[in-house]
């Protein structure tokens, strides 16, 4: 089996490293095919909390209604120019209300809860989309934005295209499944201490969707990365994010960590590190992310 090359740290290179083509399926180069509608006095003003939800706004052509988003909303590039209301878990009611939104659409990870209640008390319609790390998460986000933006028809059309793309990806994964699944360890390195992913995480679900096996299933959530965990997990591949590997000093510096020498992945330098939002966002690019991981595991 050939080895995945170490990641390079640009968005385009990160996509290539995961094996995902820059033009992929219904959401490739024409990822946002719908014309933006004009924002009029009768259309709701939207604030989105969560990068994947913001992506849906653009996919539905409702970006003219978007008056603010959180700091995880980085794709498409135009979303970076919207006024920011802070990190999704550390919102302030004053910052959101200053944008005079009619509706806030967020995932269930948004908070604090007291801020969300303050927004409701101020007359803002707040929709929280549960994060269960399933394909249905994507549909829930599409439907929530469609309702809030009054673009239900466009939401149904987008969902039909996404469902077709998802079916194709899953059929491809099933057709190439072998008895011995590649063991994959996900390392989250966006903070001071790198952590590894167990069950009930976005990374766990992505690995399974792409035809791999999470190398750590003895716990739920995330735990600090230790030499013992790496040695016992024996991963064939290390999965991370482009931003996380960059925070650790780049791929060469990453592989210098002594605990990694205990893994089969180290011998092959088998590292896959796509863009974080693409990989973990569970938004309209989820089929693209799974397709890329599946190709990476087969490399």
Place of tokens 């035809």: 211
Supply the pTM of this predicted model: 0.85
| C-beta separation of 45 from 100 below 8 A | yes
Note down pLDDT in tens along the chain; length 299 residues. Answer: 333 443 332 333 433 333 332 222 333 333 444 444 555 568 999 999 999 999 999 999 999 999 999 999 999 999 999 999 999 999 999 999 999 999 999 999 999 999 999 999 999 999 999 999 999 999 999 999 999 999 999 999 999 999 999 999 999 999 998 888 999 999 999 877 899 999 999 999 999 999 999 999 999 999 999 888 888 899 999 999 999 999 999 999 999 989 899 899 999 999 999 999 999 999 999 999 999 999 999 87
**264 contact partners, CB below 8 Å, separation of at least 6:** 183, 234, 235, 236, 270
User: In the chain, where are the structural domains located?
Assistant: 11-24+178-298, 38-150
* CATH number for domain 38-150, candidates 3.50.50.60, 3.40.50.1980, 1.10.3110.10, 3.20.20.140: 3.40.50.1980
- The fold for domain 11-24+178-298 equals Rossmann fold (3.40.50)
Q: Mean pLDDT, the chain, as a whole number?
A: 88
Q: What are phi and psi of 18, to 5 degrees?
A: -80, -5
38-150 matches 11-24+178-298 in CATH topology: yes
Q: What was the pLDDT predicted at 12? A: 39
Q: What was the pLDDT predicted at 230? A: 87
Tokens coding 233: 């997990």
Q: What was the pLDDT predicted at 40? A: 56
d(CA 68, CA 181): 42
Tokens coding 114: 């007291």
């Amino acid at each position: 089996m050939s080895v995945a090359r170490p990641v390079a740290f640009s968005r385009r290179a990160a996509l290539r490293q995961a094996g995902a083509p820059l033009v992929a399926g219904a959401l490739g180069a024409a990822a946002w095919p719908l014309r933006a509608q004009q924002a009029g006095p009768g259309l709701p003003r939207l604030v989105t909390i969560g990068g994947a939800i913001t992506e849906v706004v653009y996919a539905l052509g409702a970006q003219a209604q978007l008056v603010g988003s959180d700091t995880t909303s980085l794709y498409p590039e135009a979303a970076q120019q919207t006024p920011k209301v802070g990190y999704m878990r550390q919102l302030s009611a004053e910052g959101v209300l200053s944008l005079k939104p009619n509706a806030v659409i967020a995932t269930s990870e948004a908070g604090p809860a007291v801020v969300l209640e303050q927004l409701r008390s101020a007359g803002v319609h707040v929709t929280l989309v549960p994060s269960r790390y399933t394909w249905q998460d994507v549909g829930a986000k599409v439907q929530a934005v469609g309702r809030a933006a009054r673009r239900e028809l466009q939401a149904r059309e987008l969902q039909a295209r996404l469902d077709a793309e998802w079916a194709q990806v899953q059929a491809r994964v099933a057709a190439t499944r072998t008895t011995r699944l590649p063991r994959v360890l996900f390392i989250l390195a966006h903070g001071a201490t790198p952590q590894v992913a167990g069950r009930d995480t976005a990374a766990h679900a992505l690995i399974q969707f792409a035809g791999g096996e999470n190398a750590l299933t003895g716990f739920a959530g995330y735990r600090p990365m230790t030499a013992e965990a790496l040695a016992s997990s024996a991963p064939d591949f290390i999965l991370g994010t482009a931003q996380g590997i960059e925070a650790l000093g780049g791929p060469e510096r990453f592989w210098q960590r002594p605990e990694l020498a205990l893994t089969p992945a180290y011998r092959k330098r088998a590292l896959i590190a796509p863009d974080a939002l693409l990989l973990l966002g569970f938004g309209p690019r989820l089929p693209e992310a799974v397709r890329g991981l599946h190709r990476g595991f087969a490399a």
